[in-house]
Amino acid sequence: MAARWAEALLKLQRVDLKIRELEARLALLPKEMTELKNKRDAAVAEVNAAASAAKKIELERKGVESEIEKLNAENKRLQQQSAMVKKNTEYQAMLGTIALNEKKVGDLESRELELMDRFEEARKAYRKIRQDNEAAVNAIRAEFDELVAFAGDLKKEIAQLKEERPADIRGVDGETLARYNRLLAGKDGIAPLVRVENEICGSCHLRVTRQALTNMQKGAVTSCENCMHFIYLEDVE
């Protein structure tokens, strides 16, 4: 058995350390949730990018198509006009333009075929990405919901522990309790009250002083002179 004051403080400390651990876990959740949201946004953006890539090709194809129509219409008009021109030079010039337009139409038609192929590919890629990312987004959503539920559980558990936290600590004076609370709030993450084994402090791992050993053996409230943590011995009568 440890000294009475140490036993009482250990009981409190067990609850407090559990609360501290749960609060630390809870504090990590917002970052994890933000990361999930970012992952979801990236997946959605990828689908949108694939869709607009396909759309861009389709728009270009439509542009090529309307250019072909324009050139064909111009040739039709030139052919009608050429039947009525009387000057040979003018007639030759018209035939030249018609031939040139036909050449352009031929090139544009190859371009259109190429764009149609590319559009098919882009559409297939889009469908694949959409399917993959839909699964990913669903998995992310499920994970997010789990985190929300987990946060709720943690909050509930913390609230319950705080409620159960012994309010009245017999055998521990107010000053000791106040120091205990300050150590608990400290950033080192070490328990306020640590055991001494083989005369070594469980917090700073240095040898405790003779005076401290004597105090502990007497069952008095004792602190490590080096790290200021409360220290106790397991085997005090």
Q: In 10 A of CB 19, how many CB atoms?
A: 19
Cα distance between residue 76 and residue 180, in whole Å:
98
Q: Which of 139, 227 has the CB closer to Zn ion?
A: 227
Residue 141, both tokens = 């959503």
Measuring CA to CA, which residue among 162, 161, 234 is closest to residue 194?
234
Q: Which of 209, 226 has the CB closer to Zn ion?
A: 226
Whose structure tokens read 């946060």? 151
Q: Does 201 bind Zn ion (CB under 5 A)?
A: yes
Q: Which of 82, 226 has the CB closer to Zn ion?
A: 226
Cα distance between residue 115 and residue 139, in whole Å:
36
- Range in contact with Zn ion (rule: CB under 5 A) among 85-93, 138-146, 167-175, 199-207: 199-207
Q: Which of 97, 226 has the CB closer to Zn ion?
A: 226
- Range in contact with Zn ion (rule: CB under 5 A) among 3-11, 48-56, 141-149, 193-201: 193-201
Q: Does 200 bind Zn ion (CB under 5 A)?
A: no
Q: Does 204 bind Zn ion (CB under 5 A)?
A: yes
Residue 132, both tokens = 């993959």
Instruction: Compute and round to an integer the Cα radius of gyration of the chain.
Output: 41
Using DSSP, state whether 217 is helix, strand or coil: helix
- Distance in Å, CB of 229 to Zn ion, minimum: 5
Q: Does 224 bind Zn ion (CB under 5 A)?
A: yes
Residue 214 half-sphere exposure, CB side, CA atoms within 13 Å? 3
231 secondary structure, DSSP code: E
Q: Which of 60, 225 has the CB closer to Zn ion?
A: 225
Cα distance between residue 169 and residue 6, in whole Å:
11
- Distance in Å, CB of 237 to Zn ion, minimum: 24
- Distance in Å, CB of 195 to Zn ion, minimum: 11
Cα distance between residue 37 and residue 53, in whole Å:
24
Q: What x-and-dash track marks residues 28-57 binding Zn ion by CB under 5 A?
A: ------------------------------
- Range in contact with Zn ion (rule: CB under 5 A) among 26-34, 48-56, 185-193, 218-226: 218-226
| Interface residue list for Zn ion (CB under 5 A) | 201, 203-204, 224, 226-227
